[in-house]
Amino acid sequence: MDRTIRTVPAILTDDPIALGKMVLQTESFTDFAQFDIMDGHFVPSTSVTCQQIAALETKLSWEVHLMVMHPENYLEEFKQAGAQKVVFHYEATPSPESIIDRIKKLDMQAGLAVNPETPVSAISPLVKMLDSVLFLSVNPGFYGAKFIPEVLKKIVDFRKAHSAKEVGIDGGIKENNIAEIAATGVNVIYIGSAIYLQPDPAESYRRLTRLAEVYAP
């Protein structure tokens, strides 16, 4: 079965000036991006804020990946800032159902992110409520973290059980593993350092996109 596969730049920084530069770079090679938000509690690192993203005048359409505790406290401000989708972590809340419901009532798409150690069985009851599931293939919170290949089997197992659901992967994607990643049947591959830490981010994005398209089933 042929699947559409997308590569999405994941913008992560704690520097508002760098944020502006990364957004300008991104506008030169795509029309959609993900902003990563970190609170220093759910993950050790921190990032730019919603207010700093909202202050940008960008042509990009975008979603947000919340690596934060109490994600429910962020929903309204990201709706006002222009987010099309909110992806939050299963591990960050005891009541993911209520957060999904609130995201939907705000007329945004709801995505659930899953850390490497969380089994697929834990999130199965929530899948019908979600627009997408995002599998983290690194321990979240650090730029350029080490890829965890065991996550690929989780994606294959999830895809067999939920063939119609959008599945994403985020973390540690490089030229040397993107073929194997694309072959799992993921729909969306989120890429950060393999784009933005390269001499030519636009060319790196295009090259990774071509590789993903070639190896998608």
3-state SS record for the chain? CCCCCEEEEEECCCCHHHHHHHHHHHHCCCCEEEEEEEECCCCCCECCCHHHHHCCCCCCEEEEEEECCCHHHHHHHHHHHCCCEEEEEHHHCCCHHHHHHHHHHCCCEEEEEECCCCCHHHHHHHHHHCCEEEEECCCCCCCCCCCCCCHHHHHHHHHHHCCCCEEEEECCCCCCCHHHHHCCCCCEEEECHHHHCCCCHHHHHHHHHHHHHHHCC
* Residue 109 falls inside a structural domain: yes
* Residue 36 falls inside a structural domain: yes
Distance between CA atoms of residues 5 and 126, nearest Å? 23
CB neighbour list of residue 150: distance below 8 Å, 6 or more residues apart:
116
Q: How confident is the model at residue 59 (pLDDT cuts 50, 70, 90)?
A: very high
* Active site annotation includes 170: yes
Distance between CA atoms of residues 93 and 72, nearest Å? 9
* Residue 143 falls inside a structural domain: yes
- pLDDT tens digits, 169-178: 999 999 999 9
* Active site annotation includes 15: no
Average pLDDT score, the chain: 95
- Angle of CA points 50, 146, 43, to nearest 5°: 35
Q: How confident is the model at residue 3 (pLDDT cuts 50, 70, 90)?
A: low
Q: Do the beta carbons of residue 137 and residue 170 sit within 8 Å?
A: yes
Could you tell me the pTM of the whole model?
Answer: 0.95
Least confident range of 53-67, 90-104, 142-156, 195-209:
142-156
Q: Is pLDDT of 58 > 90?
A: yes
Range of the domain at 51: 6-215
Whole-number pLDDT of residue 217: 87
Q: Dihedral angle at the C-alpha atoms of 12, 17, 18, 23, nearest 10 degrees?
A: 80
* Residue 144 falls inside a structural domain: yes
Q: Is pLDDT of 1 > 60?
A: no
Q: Is pLDDT of 146 > 90?
A: no
Distance between CA atoms of residues 167 and 187, nearest Å? 5
Question: Catalytic pick from 14, 15, 101, 170?
Answer: 170
* Residue 54 falls inside a structural domain: yes
Whole-number pLDDT of residue 4: 84
Distance between CA atoms of residues 211 and 161, nearest Å? 26
Q: Is pLDDT of 105 > 80?
A: yes
* Residue 28 falls inside a structural domain: yes
* Structural domain count of the chain: 1
* Residue 1 falls inside a structural domain: no
Question: Catalytic pick from 36, 39, 131, 200?
Answer: 36
* Residue 188 falls inside a structural domain: yes
CB neighbour list of residue 164: distance below 8 Å, 6 or more residues apart:
none
**CATH value at residue 137:** 3.20.20.70
